[in-house]
Amino acid sequence: MKILVTGASGFIGSFLVEEGIELGYNVWAGIRKSSNRRYLADSRINFIGLNLDNRDELCKQLSLFAREHGRWDYVIHAAGATKCVDTRDFMRVNFDGTKNLVDTLLELDMCPRQFIYLSSLSVMGPAREEQPYSPITGNDAAAPNTAYGKSKLMAEAYIRSIGDFPYVIMRPTGVYGPRERDYFNMAVSIKNHIDFSVGYKPQVITFIYVKDLVKAVYLAMEKGVTRRSYFVSEPRGYDSRAFGDYIQRELSVKNVLHIKAPLWFLRTISLCAEQLSRISRKPSTLNSDKYNIMKQRNWLCDTSPIEKELGFTADYNLERGTAETIKWYKENKWL
């Protein structure tokens, strides 16, 4: 069985490639010329250059593959942008790139058994207080409040609009684990004795460890489901202090100053960071999109469909996942 993993050099993509290799699949890592192959060192990995921005070049790349190898049995589309200097790039990368890939696969008669799209819980927009997100199917309304969420939702809508296209959409909540850099910044802050949070109302946050997300993807392949969408998360939520407390314990850091700032302060900092990002032309972790995500008080979601239909249960709770993540950061000299 041949698998294509796009975005293979990224945080989630590299774990998807590793698991596919371990399960005995013939894995092709879709990368750009500039991609770092640090976590793609296994000699069993096949590589293919993909330019998802250019439909003509992508067609040539896939045509050459088809002549030599046929078609992929499964395509896992993990390529995407989570941070951009210009918010318009979210649409270019997350929507246009997805559309180019899907259209080219169909044009070349290379439609796989399953096209698994890694989307995001952000497609749902703000949740009601204390009410979990419920699964949506078809073209039921969702109202994302971030440029990132809108681009992902448009990609989802396009995929679903193609009759009989064998999609599976995964909507993970906050994904953390080894190699991830945004949550890593939180660990660095706590190592320096500062834990920063925002908003005075109680906040319920949900997480999924990267290996559990990968497990869910391969369970979908094993079960052969198509035209389904799933939230991927631990079933429980955590308060805003939990992650920081686990990190503090694993780092053996004492006397951490817990700073809880008002939302207006986060908004100001986010706008300043966004302006500096435009000047430096480097994406910033803090921006208007991130502000809209961080100010939300509730990220609970209904995981019963993925549990019932795929038999999925998270192997890692936040405590175990944090321990393994911090251990990796230490061993790899990140901390």
In-domain check, residue 84: yes
Q: What is the CATH number of the domain that holds 223?
A: 3.40.50.720
Burial label for 30, CB within 10 Å (0-12, 13-18, 19+), is: buried
Enumerate the H helices of 162-239 as residue ranges. 182-191, 210-223
In-domain check, residue 189: no
In-domain check, residue 144: yes
In-domain check, residue 323: no
In-domain check, residue 65: yes
**Confidence bin at 275 (pLDDT 50/70/90):** confident
pTM reported for the whole predicted model: 0.92
Render pLDDT for 211-235 as a digit per residue (tens, 0 to 9): 999 999 999 999 999 999 999 999 9
In-domain check, residue 241: no
Q: Which domain holds residue 308?
A: 2-177+207-235+299-315
pLDDT of the residue at 293:
72
Q: What is the CA angle 95-98-100, rounded to 5? A: 105
Residues pairing with 228 in the sheet: 168
Cβ–Cβ contacts within 10 Å for residue 260, how many? 12
Render pLDDT for 65-119 as a digit per residue (tens, 0 to 9): 999 999 999 999 999 998 887 888 999 999 999 999 999 999 999 999 999 999 9
In-domain check, residue 223: yes
In-domain check, residue 190: no
Total domains in the fold of the chain: 1
